[in-house]
Amino acid sequence: MDADPYAGFPPGFFDRGDESPDAVFYDVPRLVTHIDEGAVAAVGRLYAELGIDGDAPRPVRVLDLMSSWVSHFRTPPAELVVLGMNGAELAANPAATERLVHDLNADPRVPLPDGDVDAVVCCVSIDYLTRPVEVLAEAGRVLRPGGQLAVTYSNRCFPTKAVRGWLATDDEQHGAVISELVRRSGRFTEPAVQLRTRPGAGDPLYAVTATRLP
Query: What tens digit of pLDDT does each residue of 112-158 get?
Result: 999 999 999 999 999 999 999 999 999 999 999 999 999 999 998 88
Query: Which residue, 73, 68, 79, is CA-closest to 41?
Result: 73
pLDDT at 2 over 70: no
Q: How far apart are alpha carbons 65 and 80 in whole angstroms?
A: 11
The reported pTM is 0.95
What pLDDT, on a 0 to 100 scale, did the predictor assign at position 201? 83
What pLDDT, on a 0 to 100 scale, did the predictor assign at position 24? 84
Q: How far apart are alpha carbons 114 and 68 in whole angstroms?
A: 24
Report the percent of the chain where pLDDT is more than 90.
Answer: 88
Work out the pLDDT band at 28, boundaries 50, 70, 90. Answer: confident
Phi, psi of 23 (to 5 degrees): -60, -30
Helix ranges, the chain (H): 22-25, 37-49, 87-91, 132-142, 164-167, 171-185
Tens of pLDDT, residue by residue over 185-198, are 999 999 999 999 98
Q: Which of 23-27, 45-49, 93-97, 103-107 has the lowest mean pLDDT?
A: 23-27
105-132 as b/e, with b when 16 or more CB fall inside 10 Å?
beebebebeeebbbbbbbbbbbbbbbbb
**CATH architecture assignment, domain 22-211:** 3-Layer(aba) Sandwich (3.40)
**Contact present, 69 and 86 (Cβ < 8 Å):** no
pLDDT at 31 over 70: no
